[in-house]
């Protein structure tokens, strides 16, 4: 009896050893007993040595809200990317006074200094607004544009504020010197398996991207595998140009109404996984990143002072119809009234109609309402809202409703709740 038990134990150990020896050789460090049937799908781990992951933060400023960016830094430490990229607007800026700009950079650097991985700077119009800010930026970070190579992937970090001050709308945003620098960087790294481009302003959506210098840059990367990331607009949108993906990111604390994905308004981190076949882009919402106690990290970061001077708003909603039928997915905006020889009408609040034609208006935050006053109502329905190249889709409504100067629609916002019926012809 004892002899049989010993033999059974010996054969059992031998079987375990044989099972371990049958493991796929590609999986280093994995030890598990396999059999004819196993409680897993396969043993090819998702750990290719050429793969890597990095994060992107978007606009922090342009009316930054308290705590958000500094909390995002702590959340990045929870996620542990290999490094963090940016797309500019890191400080509020817009000043030539050192006593204002220097403390803003000190504050920002105190936040990114807490990262457990490298942070790569890219300037925005708030960071480089004028000659003084450009000089200070160069003193702190050496250059507003540069490149680096990581695991045979080329990273082009550009400046859309080169030069920083534009006297005319058609002035270049990218200097010829910068274009030539990028051309040389691409040529010197011609065997790179992918190119990532980071800049602040999505110059391809401007009326004439040729004048901004963007088309000159696109000629540099044409025919290459590349992906572009920008910010500035505080609204998320995906584009397709030259067969490549371009992303306009939302915010990481910058001014936003935060009306959610349908508006492209949210705080997030871009999460990029670089695979052999190309990058995989994921958006991670900041309010979904919590630690093991289910808390979002605390912060004492203050918000933009200008946010305290906002006008009082009152709830405003409308039912929008065309020839008596609900008008869905239409952009409805309240504009200041046109004035003879006065300032051009400016948009105050807006909203997007739902499938029943109902819309709630937002001025500062999600669906907060509109300040008192009389407004011209602009209504546009684009189908689709955006084309792949970033241009807006064609308007399906009569053209008279598309401008504050020509629309016959008017509303008056009063204290209390405001409800309107807007019927288009």
Long-range contacts of range 105-112, CB-CB < 8 Å, 24 or more positions apart? Answer: 105/136, 105/140, 107/301, 108/60, 111/69, 111/70, 111/73, 111/301, 112/73, 112/84
Residue with tokens 């990045």: 76
The mean-pLDDT minimum among 66-75, 351-360, 386-395 falls in 386-395
CA–CA dist 347, 357 (Å, integer): 21
pTM tops 0.85, yes or no: yes
Torsion of CA 285, 286, 289, 291, to 10 degrees: 180
Q: Are 199 and 122 in contact (CB under 8 A)?
A: yes
Q: Are 326 and 320 in contact (CB under 8 A)?
A: yes
The mean-pLDDT minimum among 118-127, 260-269, 299-308, 325-334 falls in 299-308
| DSSP annotation string for 59-97 | B--SSPPTTHHHHHHHHHHHH--S-EEE-S--S------
Residue with tokens 């900041």: 286
Q: Are 172 and 208 in contact (CB under 8 A)?
A: no
Q: Looking at residues 335-344, what average pLDDT do you find?
A: 87
Q: How many residues does the chain have?
A: 425
Is residue 1 pLDDT above 50, yes or no?
no
Give the β-pairing of 237-241 and 244-248: antiparallel
Structural domains of the chain in order of their starting residue, each with its CATH number: 52-305 (3.60.21.10), 310-424 (2.60.40.1120)
Kindly report the average pLDDT of the chain as a whole number: 92
**23 C-beta neighbours (distance < 10 Å), count:** 14
Torsions phi, psi for 369 (to 5 deg): 115, -160
Is residue 5 pLDDT above 80, yes or no?
no
Determine the 3-state secondary structure of 178 from DSSP. helix
The mean-pLDDT minimum among 29-43, 201-215, 284-298, 380-394 falls in 380-394
The per-residue pLDDT for range 110-156, each reduced to its tens digit, is 999 999 999 999 999 999 999 999 999 999 999 999 999 999 999 99
The per-residue pLDDT for range 156-211, each reduced to its tens digit, is 999 999 988 755 555 668 999 999 999 999 999 999 999 999 999 999 998 888 98
Give the β-pairing of 268-275 and 244-248: unpaired
Is residue 252 pLDDT above 70, yes or no?
yes
The mean-pLDDT minimum among 102-106, 382-386, 396-400 falls in 382-386
Task: From residue 255, give the alpha-carbon distance in Å to each of 92, 117, 214, 364.
Answer: 11, 26, 26, 9
Determine the 3-state secondary structure of 12 from DSSP. helix
Q: Looking at residues 71-76, what average pLDDT do you find?
A: 98
Q: Looking at residues 227-233, what average pLDDT do you find?
A: 98
- pLDDT at position 167 is 55
Q: Are 376 and 335 in contact (CB under 8 A)?
A: yes
| Residue 139, H or E segment | helix 131-141
Give the β-pairing of 226-230 and 194-198: parallel
pLDDT range class, residue 379, cuts 50, 70, 90: very high
pLDDT range class, residue 405, cuts 50, 70, 90: very high
């Amino acid at each position: 009896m004892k002899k049989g038990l010993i033999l059974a134990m010996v054969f059992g150990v031998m079987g375990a050893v044989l099972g371990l020896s049958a493991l796929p050789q590609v999986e280093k460090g994995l030890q598990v007993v396999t059999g004819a049937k196993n409680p897993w799908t396969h043993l090819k781990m998702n750990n290719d040595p050429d793969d890597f992951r990095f994060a992107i933060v978007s606009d922090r400023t342009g009316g930054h809200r308290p705590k958000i960016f500094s909390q995002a830094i702590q959340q990045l430490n929870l996620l542990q990317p290999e490094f963090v990229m940016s797309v500019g607007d890191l400080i509020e800026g817009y000043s030539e006074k050192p006593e204002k700009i220097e403390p803003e950079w000190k504050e920002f650097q105190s936040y990114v200094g807490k990262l457990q991985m490298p942070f790569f700077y890219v300037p925005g119009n708030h960071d480089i607004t004028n000659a003084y800010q450009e000089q200070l930026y160069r003193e702190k970070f050496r250059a507003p544009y540069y490149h680096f190579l990581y695991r045979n992937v080329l990273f082009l970090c550009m400046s859309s504020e080169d030069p920083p001050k534009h006297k005319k709308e058609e002035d270049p945003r990218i200097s010829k010197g910068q274009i030539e620098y990028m051309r040389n960087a691409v040529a010197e790294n011609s065997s790179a398996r992918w190119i990532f481009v980071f800049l602040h302003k999505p110059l391809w959506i401007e009326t004439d991207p040729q004048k901004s210098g963007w088309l000159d840059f696109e000629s540099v990367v044409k025919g290459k595998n590349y992906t572009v990331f920008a910010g500035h607009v505080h609204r998320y949108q995906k584009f397709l140009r030259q067969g490549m993906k371009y992303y306009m990111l939302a915010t990481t604390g910058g001014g936003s109404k935060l009306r959610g994905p349908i508006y492209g308004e949210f705080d997030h981190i871009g999460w990029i996984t670089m695979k052999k076949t190309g990058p995989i882009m994921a958006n991670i919402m900041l309010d979904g990143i919590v630690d093991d106690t289910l808390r979002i990290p605390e912060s004492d970061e203050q918000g933009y002072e200008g946010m305290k001077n906002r006008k009082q708003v009152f709830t405003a909603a409308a039912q929008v119809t065309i020839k008596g039928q609900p008008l869905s997915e239409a952009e409805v905006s309240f504009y200041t009234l046109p004035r003879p020889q006065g300032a051009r009408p400016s948009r105050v609040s807006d909203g997007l109609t739902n499938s029943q034609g109902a819309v709630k208006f937002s001025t500062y935050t999600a669906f907060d309402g509109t300040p008192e006053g009389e407004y011209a109502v602009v209504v546009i329905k684009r189908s689709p809202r955006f084309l792949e190249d970033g241009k807006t889709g064609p308007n399906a409504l009569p053209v008279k409703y598309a401008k504050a100067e020509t629309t016959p629609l008017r509303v008056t916002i009063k204290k209390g709740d405001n409800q309107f019926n807007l019927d288009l012809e």
